[in-house]
C-alpha cells in the first residue's frame, strides 16, 4: 500500500502546496496513492488522528509519502523516534523535498535494498547531527553575546540580529521554504516571518 500524509498547523492554512507536490511526484514516478491521511494540528504533538490511523494501517512493504520531513514532527528528537518506528518495520518513507530521502528501499521485486536503506539512514542521521550542531552554535553565540552586553552594562532586551537571524536569512536566500527554515533554525514559523521582516526580506 502507498499512503500520503499532509499536515498543517492551523485552520488558516491549507494542504494545497503539499498536495500539489505529492501529485507531481507521483505523476513523475508513476505512483498511485492508495489512501491519503491529513491532520490540522501542530507538529509538537503526536496525538494526531490522521497520523495515528496511518501508523496503524502501515505494515512492512508499504510506502508513506510526505512533502517535508517536518510533517512528521517539529523537533528532531520526535522525528528521529518516528523515523525509527517506520524504519524498524521496513516501511519506506519518501520525503519529496529531500531527493536522497525520496528513494525507495524496495527493489523491483519488492525486496528490501539494504544499500538504499543504509544510505537513507546515513543521510537522515547526518541531517539530525547538522541541525543539532547549528542549534547549539546559535544558542552558544547568543549566550556569549548577551554575556558581553551585560558585562558592558548594556540593558538587555529581546536580542535581535543574532546568529539565528543570519541562519534564517541565509536559508531564505537559498530558496528554502519557511517551514523548513523554521525546522532547521529551531524557531517557529511566526518567528521566521518576524526575522525576515526585520531584515527587510519580506
Q: Is 4 a catalytic residue?
A: no
Neighbours of 144 (CB within 10 A): 11
Of 9, 102, 139, 188, which one is the catalytic site residue?
9
DSSP secondary structure of 73-84 = -SSHHHHHHHHH
Alpha-carbon gap, residue 182 to 69, rounded angstroms: 12
Alpha-carbon gap, residue 168 to 184, rounded angstroms: 9
- The three three-digit cell numbers of residue 31, written as one number: 505512483
Alpha-carbon gap, residue 182 to 110, rounded angstroms: 36
Q: Active-site residue numbers?
A: 9
Amino acid at each position: 500500500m502507498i499512503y500520503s500524509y499532509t499536515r498543517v498547523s492551523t485552520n488558516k492554512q491549507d494542504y494545497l502546496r503539499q498536495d500539489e507536490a505529492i501529485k507531481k511526484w507521483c505523476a513523475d514516478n508513476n505512483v498511485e496513492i492508495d489512501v491519503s491521511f491529513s491532520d490540522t494540528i501542530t507538529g509538537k504533538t503526536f496525538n494526531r488522528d490522521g497520523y495515528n490511523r496511518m501508523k496503524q494501517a502501515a505494515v512492512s512493504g508499504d510506502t508513506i509519502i510526505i512533502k517535508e520531513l517536518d510533517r512528521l514532527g517539529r523537533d528532531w528528537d520526535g522525528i528521529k523516534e518516528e523515523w525509527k518506528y517506520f524504519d524498524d518495520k521496513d516501511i519506506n518513507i519518501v520525503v519529496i523535498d529531500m531527493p536522497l530521502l525520496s528513494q525507495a528501499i524496495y527493489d523491483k521485486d519488492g525486496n528490501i535494498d539494504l544499500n538504499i536503506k543504509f544510505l537513507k539512514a546515513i543521510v537522515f542521521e547526518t541531517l539530525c547531527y547538522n541541525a543539532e550542531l547549528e542549534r547549539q552554535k546559535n544558542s552558544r553565540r547568543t549566550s556569549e553575546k548577551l554575556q558581553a552586553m551585560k558585562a558592558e552594562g548594556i540593558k538587555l532586551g529581546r536580542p535581535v540580529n543574532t546568529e539565528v537571524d543570519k541562519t534564517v536569512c541565509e536559508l531564505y536566500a537559498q530558496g528554502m521554504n519557511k517551514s523548513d527554515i523554521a525546522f532547521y533554525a529551531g524557531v517557529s514559523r511566526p518567528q521566521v516571518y518576524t526575522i525576515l521582516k526585520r531584515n527587510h526580506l519580506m
